[in-house]
Chains A and B, each alone.
Chain A
Amino acid sequence: MQKNKKCIAMLLAGGQGSRLLALTTKVAKPAVSFGGKYRIIDFPLSNCTNSKIDTVGVLTQYQPLILNDYIGNGAPWDLDRNYGGVHILPPYQAKDKSAWYLGTANAIYQNIDFIKNYHSDHVIILSGDHIYKMDYADMLEYHIERNADCTIATLEVTYEEASRFGIMNTDPDMNILEFEEKPKVPKNNQASMGIYIFKTDKLIKYLEEDNEVVDSAHDFGKNIIPNMLDNKEHMVAYPFKGYWKDVGTIESLWIANMDLLGDNPNFDLYNPYWKIHSRISGGTPQYLGENAKIENSIISGGCQVLGKVVNSVIGSNVIIEEGAIVENSVVFNNTVIKKNAHVAYVILDEDVVVGENAKVGEVDATTKEITVIGRGYEVEANKVIGKALNIEREVK
């Protein structure tokens, strides 16, 4: 006999994230590095832990190997539990069918037995590609207080941005009257953050109904939410205030990293009451050499910096040799920047080597167009690679 869970989480982590170019050639978007030692999925997972949600299903599909390894038994997020904990849920073969996840709703539908197993009253749906800190417990309390069938977290965006999001039109009590997916002329600027809490029985009902519809996109935003609205289910918006960034593009990923820097950063990683957990344990302390120069940067454990680092975010075990300059860049784990190399406005993926005297990115100009160097790529010595490029190893 086990105690029933109040709320379990389903975390959608199967997306490819093709707009992240070389960064997602080998890894799913949620496993892309962020903020030095973190990966994007650390944020929703840590939010779960900090919100006392101890059961999380992670739905994977695209390039899951690194993500699977990273999540492992969930111990870094305290999600290695006797009952509950984190579970990786890949697509599987069934008795008379086998299918890839066809859409966000279909992915959850295929794992309906996982949800039923825990007899939870509510299910929270999360996605693995946003950087934010949010107390889901607070949202859950709101959802229960309002006795909602579905609660959707919303964020105020500018009207220009609004046409990229699902927009919620509500009455003054935040009851949702209308939901428009990516409207050309938005009536409102309350955007859906892709975070939903459902009453479990309603979720199951609508997922099962949606599964019967042949031409459905099996998507929460396009199908499930509109169907529920049509049926006059009680749906409310939960207005969220705080930092939230969809890091789906190279530019937004770079900006979100830069948001960590400065005296009063837009996004603060140092709050002891809302720690972001990560599998990377930090490695040895970092060594900064006699001639090192570090300015306005974040540097992770195990690094050795002998050169200059300005306005940059550096991952674990990175080596920056004598005379090398790293400016306005994001460097992922285990990358090496050799002597007198110069990188600026670049995202260097893991295990990259930048050869001696090489120049990568926009070393002198100011258009801030980011160059991406993919996982394991070796930039030869003395080579010059310009701005706004996407360089990766040939995939065999």
Chain B
Amino acid sequence: MGAAGIIFSDGKFGQIDELVRKRTEASIPFGGRYRLVDFALSNMVNADITQVAIIAKRNYQSLMDHIGSGKDWDLSRRNGGVVIFPPFGNYKSGNVYGNQLEALQGIIGFITKCPEENIILTECDSVNTIDYTDVLNQHEDTNADITLIYKELEPQEIHEEYLVVDTDEHGRVKKASMIKEINGVQKAVINAWVIKRKLLQTLLSEAASKGATSIEQEFIINNISSLRIFGYNYTGVFLANNSMEQYYANNMALLNEEVRKQVLEVCPIYTKVRDSAPTKYGKNAVVKNSFIADGCIIEGTVENSILFRGVKIGKDTVVRNCILMQDTMVLENVKLNAVVTDKNVTIRSHQELSGCAKLPYYVAKNMMI
């Protein structure tokens, strides 16, 4: 048994435009000190998977910086560990890969060399705590070629580009399609699969010879009867981040103790360690219902907010319902409501900014207002 992991740092769809202007989806900050890739990586580490490839495409500098040697995930290993594969131009066209099939063909060397029997393919679009040990056990018990991890979702929760499946009483996938029915709960594949490594190699070379472009069509829909494809019913926490509205709501959900426990305490979530001092509260600080990372200095009022590492809140400033990313500096006498500041934002004194939960006011990286 055993598995190696492959993480796509950019999803097939639904990226949050504002947040991916300067970074790949995998390095979108989340929950006060994490980045989306931390959840995918930690799930693998928690299942004793020690060989992981991350396929990068869009601006991956922040990802390289975040992952470093992989030490913080205990993935800096003599044998295996985590490797980032940046995209590369083909000798004929000069273009980098255009879809996930091409992306996987680009790292066929990694796939061929892996000693593990299975490959886990996943994206970073959602925050989840998939227990891959359990998935792999089921994969083995059912002698599956491919196991698709799905979650039963209400129609309004299903993104239009999810693969939707039907399974029989043994869990075998009988039908898979990209077309959604309007009614009822459906089994949506949450962009996480397990596939036999040798099979992946074969399917990839076939796909290349045909010039196929859709991994779902080529691997799943075309092979429903010829391969043993099973579904794995994931019932844990699932926070999909396909829009700013969802992203905002998902962060705010961490203020709920139950959600916080499910996301952060089912299994440890690892992230890059930054040597921050503990957070310091001034004499006039007022802080309520907030989730605050290390290294902050708070002298004003903070309510219902998520503060990342190194945020500074000045005197007489009131911050409500906000997400303030790393090193945001809010000076004195500022009022913020439903604002999302990206990294290194400075808000000067006497400013007022306000958004709403449906449309939070977003301030881009390094901006000074």
Contact = CB atoms under 8 A, between A and B. Distances in A.
A145 B72 CA distance: 41
A299 B283 contact: no
A285 B310 CA distance: 12
B278 A300 contact: yes
Interface in A304-325: 309, 313-314
A260 B32 CA distance: 24
Contacts of B297: 270
B289 A295 contact: no
Interface in A272-311: 275-278, 281-282, 284-301, 309
| Chain A: number of interface residues, binned into ranges | 35 or more
A294 B299 CA distance: 10
Interface in B285-336: 285-295, 297, 299, 306-307, 309
Interface string A112-128: 00000000000000000
Q: Chain B contact residues (Cβ within 8 angstroms of A): what range?
A: 35 or more
B31 interface: yes
B347 to A, nearest CB: 20
Contacts of B269: 284
Nearest to A37: B278
A282 B273 contact: yes
Interface in B141-159: none
A299 B277 contact: no
Given A281-B273, A295-B285, A286 B71 contact: no
A255 interface: no
B181 interface: no
Q: Which of A285, A288, A301, A313 has the most CB of B within 10 A?
A: A285
A263 interface: yes
A323 to B, nearest CB: 15
Contacts of B33: 282, 284-285
B288 A290 contact: yes
Highest count of chain A CB atoms <10 Å: which of B33, B260, B276 = B276
A289 B292 CA distance: 11
B281 A301 contact: no
A286 B290 CA distance: 8
Contact of A286 (B274, B277, B284, B291): B291
B275 A277 contact: yes
A332 B187 CA distance: 47
A35 B273 CA distance: 18
Contacts of B260: 284, 287
A288 B278 contact: no
Contacts of B273: 76, 281-282
A76 to B, nearest CB: 8
Contacts of B354: none
Contact of B293 (A75, A285, A293): A285
A299 B288 contact: no
Contacts of A314: 278
B289 A282 contact: no
A289 B279 contact: no
B280 interface: yes
Nearest to A287: B291
Given A277-B275, A286-B293, A296-B285, 8 more contacts: A35-B277, A263-B283, A270-B277, A282-B293, A287-B257, A293-B286, A299-B281, A301-B294
14 contacts: A35-B277, A75-B71, A282-B293, A284-B33, A285-B32, A286-B291, A288-B287, A290-B288, A295-B281, A296-B282, A298-B280, A299-B279, A299-B281, A309-B281
Top 7 nearest A-B pairs by Cβ distance? A285-B32, A36-B278, A269-B277, A300-B278, A285-B293, A281-B273, A282-B294
